[in-house]
Structure 1
Amino acid sequence: MIVMKFSKHVFTVFFMVIMLQCIAQDVQQTERGVKLALNTTTVELQFYNASTVRVLKYPAGKETDPKSLSVIATPVKVNVSLKRSAGTVTVSSGQVNVAVNLSDGQVSFLGQKSKTPLLKEKAGSTSFEPFNDAGVSSYAIKQAFELDPEEAIYGLGSQQRGKMIQRNLKMNMVQGNTDDYVPFFQSVKGYGLFWDNYSPTIFEDNTAATSFSSQVGDCVDYYFMYGGNADGVIAQMRSLTGQAPMFPLWTYGFWQSRERYKSQAELVDVVRKYRQLNVPLDGVIQDWQYWGNNYLWNAMDFLNVDFPDPKKMVEDVRRLNAHMIISIWSSFGPQTLQYKELEKINALFNFKTWPESGSEKWPPNPNYPSGVRVYDAYNPAARDIYWKYLKNMHSIGIDGWWMDSSEPDHFNATDADLNTKTFLGSFRRVRNAYPLMTVGGVYQNQRKVDNSKRVFILTRSAFAGQQRYGANTWSGDVVSSWDALHNQVIAGLNFSLTGIPHWNSDIGGFFLWNFRRKLDDPEYRELYTRWLEFGAFNPMMRSHGADAPREIYQFGKKGDKVYDAIEKFIRLRYTLLPYIYSTSYQVTANQSSMMRALMMDFPSDKNVLPISDQFMFGKSLLVCPVVKPMYVKKVIAGKDTTMAEDFSTVRTRDAYLPAGSKWFDFWTSEPNNGGQWVKKETPIDIIPVFVKAGSILPAGPSVQYATEKKWDELEIRVYPGADGEFVLYEDENDNYNYEKGVFSTITFRWDDKKKILTIADRAGAFPGMLSNRKFNVTLVQQQAGKTSNVNYAGKQVKVKL
């Protein structure tokens, strides 16, 4: 009996050895990682760097090498090790360990020292359903993952759902006017996941799984990246999809537009009025129909008789020390030169888009169809034609491009529409990447002809990787309401967490459908003011909308509470320009973000994870927008009920101060400990803003436009309570010479124990740089702070405070 048992044991061991040898034959180490041929599925792991791994899955017997539209990184050489154990192959880069179950292909991701997975696929959830994609054999694909029950994830783009943590939801990811989808999320556990697919996709998270399901794809294709924290994850995402170039300094000033200025005289007069009122302004925007009727839609030419001399218009704006950008679209009317040229190369789509009628009257008259068609931005020749006509605008001095309908507008979408042939296959296959392609075409073509002026694009839609194209995305034509204002905070933060750092919204909301009296409605006036206060801490501060004009003088005059509050925050924006521009340098040079969800800087404080109405602007300022009405009351007169302003009582807002830091009230310098809720008074001209202890905050001069005065006498505010550092960045304010190292930095370091501020040697140089300057250094205290005046000539100075 003993012999029989021993024989069975020997046989079992022998069988396992044979099986492992068979498995080993199916595991192929590649230049980038490993390729595993399993029973029904091939799995490839491709390391792009030690912290980022690409996972490809496709049916056994098929070969695929998909070319990404978003990912532009070239994989670096990574030394990986393979470890085989019964039923599992583990590939390690030194930063990330990836385990593949050899029976079902389940992939799990672990950190270098982690024994439990950071993320793992749901076993058996990889799905390839045969799909006929406009005559091409393909698959509908799905992959599900298992997240911890309480794990907070963020990202997925800019939506109007009002949901900060992206759990327990179902999202139909198809680009739209007010929804920009980026199939990327990141976790508080320090990892990110990018689903690299451009077709209509369902993202769903429930108690069973977290999944992406795409209508069409040749394979499952996603990237796992470990960054350790949110900034690290964003750095990995940008290393894959491209770094964000710098915007000109003037783009960070205040912008005014409306739907629409109806003549060049009206547009120039708006800038002139701001100058007469001594209210700062840097940009004005011309919206649509400067081209004339809808049959000339997006002609990129001033064919409207009320714009008789566009070159003079641009020159008049420039003489008033402002900049101008102009609305351009992704579609063309049948009488435009672009339409005719694009039609010859079969680069126009046949689906319903805006405008539907050739008549400008509302509602659209179906008896007079506009014939407007969207162009094939996936076609490089079509993108070149687009720029061929746009460069005429560039030649007369237009400073940037407002790329409207960059989703593009697509009404009543059908399967037939999605079958539309593009240069890269069916429209279905590449649908969500349309904004990436059309925005990229403008950026790349302008860079070919002009490095003296930085590309600046304002766009309504975005996709993964768009940060590399000098574009600021706005949240679309949102309908004005208090809920909408709150939703913008959430949308901007989740969008930034996808790695795209520049975002803004129409201050005041685009449509005023909820306010019958428009600007005469006191609740709207309060809402507009609060929205503008929030906008002062966005990467772009831009007032815009339909139904009523929004220029400051439409809200009264100096001495009126609303007018004064608006002016106060516009001026505050300009005071913060040295801080904002230096923060923008950190975005470009060090993969930082401007709008920062609190979980980015305080991940260990669990209280901050769901907070949706506060954020960091840069790494020093904690901003708490007011997103509820406070200063209106109902007035009943007979059967009528109206709203009236009521400033008789100063209201308050609760704000949470994250743990681990001391905080100073920006307005009063009052110190507060972190880890607590505080109640702050919020008159109409105040929102709670706090400065983190250890911050060094530069304050700029009072100006009418961003470059009016040199920064030769900056106030430097030091907030004690912790050591700190700040890098003041300066360059020529426009052009791409900074890419060649033509800029300077001055590093300020605060030693809190010794109460010494060290201003280091200036690094770098650029034409026009200040050789000598004064810093007025203030140690911020609740009582009058101590100020030291420092003459600085580029060499280290120590200041005892």
Structure 2
Amino acid sequence: MIVLSMKKAALCAWCCLLVHIPVLLFAHHTPYSKDADGVVVRFAPGKAGQTRLLQLRVVTDKIIQVKASPDTAFSPLKSLMAISRSDKPAALWTTREEGDWLILKTAAITARLSLVTGELQFADNNGHILLQEKKTGGKAYAAHTADGEKVYAVTQTFLQQEGEAMYGLGGNQCGFVNLRNKPVDVTQYNSVATIPFMVSTAGYGLLWDNYSVSRFGDYRELRPLSDFTLYNAEGKPGGLTAIYNYKDSVKYNTAIQREENNINYDFLDDMNRLPANYKAGKGVVTWVGALQSSATGIHQFLCKASGYTKLYINDSLIMDKWRQPWNPGTTAFELWMNKGAHYKVRLEWVPDGDESFQVLRFLPPVAEQDKNQFGFWSEAADQIEYYFIYGRNADDIISGYRNITGKASLLPKWALGLWQSRERYHSQEEILTTVNEFRKRQIPLDNIVMDWQYWRPDQWGSHEFDTSRFPDAAGMITQLHQQYNTRFMISVWPKFYTGTDNYNLLNSKGWLYTKNIENNQKDWIGYVSTFYDAFNADARKLFWKLMNDKLYTKKVDAWWLDATEPDIYSNISIEQRKALMKPMAIGTPTRYFNTYPLLNAAGVYEGQRSVNANNRVCILTRSAWAGIQRYAAAVWSGDIAARWHDMKDQIASGISFSLAGVPYWSMDIGGFAVEKRYEKATGSDLDEWREQTTRWYQFGAFCPLFRVHGQYPFREIYNVAPETHPAYKSMLYYDQLRYRLLPYIYTLAGTTWQNDYTIMRGLVMDYAADKKARDVADEYMFGPSLLINPVTAYKARSRQVYLPEGNGWYDFYTGAFYKGGQTVEAKAEYERIPVFVKQGAILPVGPVMQYSTEKPADSVTVWVYTGKDGSFTLYEDENLNNNYEKGAYTNIPFTYNEKNGTLEIGDRKGAFTGMLTNRTFLVKWVTPTNDAGIDNSTGKVQPVTYTGKKITIKMK
């Protein structure tokens, strides 16, 4: 026992009180107070819209929360994205004054706050500045009224460093990964799931804690073409020449020609701008003329379009795209324009349906004083709130994001196998016949998906199967489980038709949005509907109860949560979308517009665990928000189109989404919607369709989730091509390869849960020092070892691949060796895409299986790619239940020492029921000279018996 003197004891007691009792301090007449978590600074009253109150809260050594308000008190509203943690250890921190600055220091970072302007700077503890706000503090608050309440439109501006690259914010569809100087719309749309979190190569991340419509980067509002000086086809000022033609079987006939100073068919209400009686679906529209800017510099353009669009500037083709008419997509491009110069423009639009959309907007060059800045803007807030997250690398920063918003749940092992889906299986017989065909042909499969309309046509939201087509749904699911070893996922929308029992029950409690009902608005099927209020905790519980009573009790395995933006009525303006989200229990649609998918997923996750705590939840949702990873939710990229450019854009979308902190991303392999030429394709169209689907499938085999979905033609391997066709052979090969790689892939999932890992990895994550890797948007790392290079051009039989510097690379199929830091022309025959393995990789590969748990992981071939030290830790658990949360899992470390030429398999750590206590590993060595690849048998195999104790294997 240690006895303190009275003096020391009193001193300790006083120090303890300092931790818990705010201490009011003054510096240059700017008072601030300290409490257990940080400091609060009170600025003297100034002009309206200036910061009055600012808080720095220490979350961890590497995370500081910033709050800034123009009012005299902070908002009491609780964060929806951040979790409350009772297990969080208090970080140690100190403060001191340094002239006009207040310095807050943790073990990892230093925050400097100007007591004059409120400007913040963040640095590491070597004094290297990581991030700083604009010199004046960069904070702006514009008071306005939205939905009847006083709010602020808030802006936070930062300075960007020279060469700094930025990533994340969700899955944009514009084909880029580096967000520097880009205008990024942080708003939920079908095909654009957003997350307000970004990662920087400067060593930090930012999590923007706001739920309203937001913008990032160059956050200025997009401008209409009328901000240019416009010239018509004859070169006269005033507007572009707009030519509205009708098409017949032979030619186009001009219906009307007029001058227009804007191209804005953005939403359904904008279609009234068309000439009277003009039917877009039967015509083609061309805008011709010239643009003249009042400024010199880079102009950012965004073209949002559906149907067929070709855009030429100065006779150069800028874009040539197609998108299904009901779901427009956005193309972004930059153009250097000289002040006063004329730039010829020709925009050709074939709408492909009466409800097609076309809009072209731009941003002028950034003003000189605003260059090298970026920031966030949000429509509605009480205050500015963001988290600064320091990290040694992207994984460290993403770990900080998950510390704030919750760890990523571990999906069941079967979820990493093949999901087969289509829009849609019409009957119980179709589902069983499809799965039977997979098993008969020995095509590996784990999950069959039931998309919408399994209910009776007028019973959307009933959660009941139409018994005329599904006479025994429960029996069907049992047969899938017991006879076919296949899981069953089902689509559940937050949507309810009037007159259904579920609608009446929710409506009786006031838990439905009512505006769509008041409007008597029919959906595309022909019935009036609305969505439930997911912001109401009791409504979420009832929503789950309806799912449980009608579906989960039938042993449904997983949930497909569709239209969760929420898409109550498609292709209407943001203001109209907000108007349909009333009444909202938590507040106003303007304030909480982006957050519906988070709460909807929470209700399903918490509901399932409330009735079955032991089984893992598996959710697929079309939209996302910060924190959704804690609800076992994977996100897919929405109803994308099926063109080559759409497939290429998915690579960048998946990279960006993964860098936003949510690890389970998916896309519709094959694209959801197709051009009419593909619907019943023959001849050259069929050839192209098969090759495109094959290339998409090859890419999809190396995504976090391997999921086939789309309208028509049907996407089952045997419906794409006969078994003698190279398309069939290639898809079967990659399906089998996916299952052979499950020891590796499931370990990636386990590491994601244990260590906040990210499965689909932009090159910047592992090669941040390689500046050539920063903007690469069409290749990525799949886990630590595999470099994936999808082929996205028709008839391409090779593609350029950049091999990052820092290590050598082996051809995955042949074992051929290449030096890093170079671009190679890699072979890409019809049946293969280029895949490379990094030097130093340790890659566990299992047997071919028909489903994920068909065989125990014995034996596993351990491929060791020599030339550099390497390591890999094999993760295993019980595959389906939540016992991993209680420690029921194992880690087996593998370490390769290049100098000694040895592989050490370390002591097994942990245990779980059913684990392999004795097993065989087959060690296969790959060297730069032995050409050992997955598709050939070169290279020796050394069998090793492993009992859980450390052993060392010497390369022979």
Q: Whole-Å Cα distance in 2 between the matches of residues 131 and 304 of structure 1?
A: 53
The aligned counterpart of 1:255 is 419
Offset from partner CA, 1:190-220 (integer Å, 9 cap, x none): 1000110001112232535212111111100
Question: How much does 1:622 deviate?
Answer: 0.8
Helix, strand or coil at the partner of 1:26: strand
Correspondence list, 1:291-330, <5 A: 291-293=455-457, 295-318=458-481, 319-330=483-494
Out of 458, 468, 482, the position equivalent to 2:630 is 468
- AA matched with 1:533: Q
Distance across 2 between alignment mates of 1:161 and 1:413: 21
Of residues 772, 775, 783, the one that matches 1:607 is 772
Q: Report the Cα distance in structure 2 between the residues aligned to 1:191 and 1:116, rounded to whole angstroms.
A: 10
Deviates more, 1:546-555 or 1:434-443: 546-555
The equivalences for 1:6-25 within 5 A come to 23=28
1:690 aligns with 2:836: yes
Question: Does the CA contact (< 8 Å) of 2:679 and 2:713 recur in 1?
Answer: no
* Aligned residue type for 1:402: W
Does the Cα contact within 8 Å between 2:514 and 2:583 map onto a contact in 1?
no
Please tell me whether the aligned partners of residues 338 and 385 of structure 1 are also in contact (alpha carbons under 8 angstroms): no
Q: 1:514 to 1:604 in 2, by over 3 A?
A: farther
Deviation at 1:594, TM superposition (A): 0.3
- Which of 611-620 and 161-170 deviates more? 161-170
SS at structure 2 position matched to 1:421: coil
Q: Which residue of 2 aligns with 1:4?
A: none
Residue identity opposite 2:206 in structure 1: L
Do the aligned partners of residues 208 and 488 (structure 1) sit closer, same or farther apart at CA in structure 2, a change above 3 Å counting? same
Cα distance change on mapping 1:121 and 1:352 into 2, 3 Å:
farther
Alignment gaps of 5+ in structure 2: 1-24, 46-51, 219-365, 932-937
Within a 5 Å distance, the mapping from 1:10-159 to structure 2 comes to 23=28, 26-40=31-45, 41-74=52-85, 76-121=89-134, 123-159=136-172
Question: Given residue 794 of structure 1, which amino acid in structure 2 is its aligned partner?
Answer: G
SS in 2 for 1:735: coil
Which letter maps to 2:614?
S
Report Cα offsets for 1:168-210 as digits up to 9, x if no partner. Answer: 2223322111001111111011100011000111223253521
Q: Hey, what does 1:196 align to over in structure 2?
A: 209
Identify the residue that residue 506 of structure 2 maps to in structure 1.
342
Instruction: Using the TM superposition, give the Cα deviation of residue 301 of structure 1 relative to its aligned residue in structure 2, in angstroms.
Output: 1.2
Q: Which amino acid aligns with 1:372?
A: S
CA change 1:197–1:96 in 2 (3 A) is same
Measured in 1, the distance between the counterparts of 2:576 and 2:950 equals 68
CA distance in 1, matches of 2:539, 2:28: 49
**SS of the counterpart of 1:54?**
strand
Q: Residues 315 and 110 (structure 1 numbering): CA distance in 2 closer, same or farther, change over 3 Å?
A: same
Deviations 1:253-290 (A, max 9, x none): 11111000000100111000011111111110001011
Q: Match of 1:210?
A: 374
Q: Does 1:627 align with 2:792?
A: yes
Mapped to 2, the partners of 1:758 and 1:737 lie a distance apart of 29
The secondary structure found in structure 2 opposite 1:422 is coil
Deviations 1:311-331 (A, max 9, x none): 111012112111110000011
* Contact 2:179/2:217, CA 8 A, preserved across alignment: no
1:25 Cα deviation after fit: 5.8
Q: 1:493: which partner in 2?
A: 655
What CA distance in whole angstroms lies between the structure 1 residues aligned with 2:680 and 2:664?
A: 30
| Separation (CA, whole Å) in 2 of partners of 1:595 and 1:42 | 40
SS of equivalent to 2:848: coil
> In the alignment, is the contact (CA less than 8 A) between 1:527 and 1:629 conserved in 2?
yes
Alignment counterpart, residue 554 of structure 2, candidates 396, 403, 421 = 396
The whole-number CA distance in structure 2 between the counterparts of 1:519 and 1:510 is 16
Residue 761 of structure 2 is matched in structure 1 by 596
Cα distance, 1:24 vs structure 2: 5.8
* Aligned match of 2:721: 556
CA–CA separation in structure 1 for the residues paired with 2:372 and 2:945: 64
**In the alignment, structure 1 residue 762 sits paired with structure 2 residue 908:** yes
Other-structure match for 2:669: 507
Counterpart secondary structure, 1:443: helix
For the residues of structure 1 that align with 2:191 and 2:574, how far apart are their CA atoms? 20
- 2:238 counterpart residue number: none
Q: Name the stretch that deviates more: 204-213 or 32-41.
A: 204-213
Secondary structure of the 2:78 match is coil
* 1:353-390 deviation line (CA, Å, top 9, x unaligned): 9x99768xxxx48xx5x221111001010001111111
Q: State the AA in 1 paired with 2:532.
A: Y
Query: What is the SS of the residue equivalent to 2:449?
Result: strand
**Does residue 1:230 correspond to 2:407, yes or no?**
no
User: What's the counterpart of residue 602 of structure 2?
Assistant: 440
SS in 2 for 1:490: helix
Superposition deviation, residue 751 in structure 1? 1.2
| Corresponding letter in the other structure for 1:245 | S
d(CA) in 2 for partners of 1:495, 1:202: 16
SS at structure 2 position matched to 1:619:
coil
Alpha-carbon contact 1:515-1:524 (below 8 Å) kept? no
Cα shift at 1:117: 4.5
Structure 1 unpaired stretches of 5+: 1-19, 632-650
Residues 39, 60 of structure 1: 8 Å contact kept:
no
- Checking the alignment, whether the CA contact within 8 Å between 2:530 and 2:568 is kept in structure 1 is no
| TM-superposed deviation, 1:753 | 1.3
TM-score calculated relative to the size of structure 1: 0.91
In the TM superposition, residue 417 of structure 1 has moved relative to its aligned partner by 5.2
Measure the CA separation in 2 of the matches of 1:132 and 1:60.
16
Measure, in 2, the Cα distance between the counterparts of 1:399 and 1:382: 23
Conservation of the 8 A alpha-carbon contact between 1:623 and 1:690: yes
> 1:566 and 1:416 mapped to 2: Cα distance?
43
Contact 1:384 1:441 in 2 (8 A): yes
- List per-residue Cα deviations over 1:642-665 (Å, max 9, x = no partner): xxxxxxxxx211111111111111
**2:749 aligns with one of 568, 571, 584:** 584
Q: Which of these residues, 543, 556, 578, is aligned with residue 418 of structure 1? A: 578
Q: Distance in 2 between matches of 1:267 and 1:432?
A: 35
1:430 corresponding residue in structure 2: 592
Q: 1:73 Cα shift?
A: 4.1
CA displacement, residues 711-762 of structure 1 (integer Å, 9 cap, x when unaligned): 1111111110111111111111100011111122221111111111111222
**Contact 2:74 2:383 (C-alpha < 8 Å) held by counterparts:** no
Which AA in structure 2 matches 1:157? G
| TM-score, length basis structure 2 | 0.77
Query: Match for residue 363 of structure 2?
Result: none
CA distance in 2 between partners of 1:81 and 1:433 (Å): 36
The secondary structure found in structure 1 opposite 2:129 is coil
User: Which runs of structure 2 are paired with 1:154-169 in the superposition (5 Å)?
Assistant: 154-169=167-182
Residue 429 of structure 2: which of 256, 265, 282 is its match? 265
Match runs of 1:452-467 below 5 Å: 452-467=614-629
Partner Cα distance (1:613, 1:476) in 2:
19
- The CA distance in 1 between the partners of 2:130 and 2:885, in whole Å, is 40
Asked if the contact 2:846–2:857 (Cα under 8 Å) also holds between the matched residues in 1, the reply is yes
Distance 1:659 1:208, change over 3 A: closer
Identity %: 37
Equivalent residue letter for 1:401? W
2:530 is aligned to 373
- Pick from 726, 749, 755: which aligns with 2:895? 749
Using the TM superposition, name which of 117-126 and 183-192 deviates more: 117-126
Residue 62 of structure 1, CA deviation: 3.3
- Residue equivalent to 2:221: none
CA gap of 1:106–1:86, structure 2 versus 1, over 3 A, is same
Which residue of structure 1 aligns with residue 496 of structure 2?
332
Contact 1:189 1:229 in 2 (8 A): no
Q: In 1, are the aligned partners of 2:199 and 2:205 still within 8 Å (CA)?
A: yes
- Residue 775 (structure 1) aligns with: 921
* One-letter identity of the residue aligned with 1:561: P
CA displacement 1:317-350 (0-9 Å, x = unmatched):
1121111100000111112222112112211113
Q: Counterparts of 1:117 and 1:678 in 2: how far apart (Å)?
A: 35
The structural deviation recorded for 1:619 is 0.4
Aligned-pair RMSD on alpha carbons?
Answer: 1.9
Q: For 1:436 and 1:406, how far apart are their aligned partners in 2? A: 9
What's 1:15 paired with? Answer: none
> Is the aligned partner of 1:383 residue 2:540?
yes
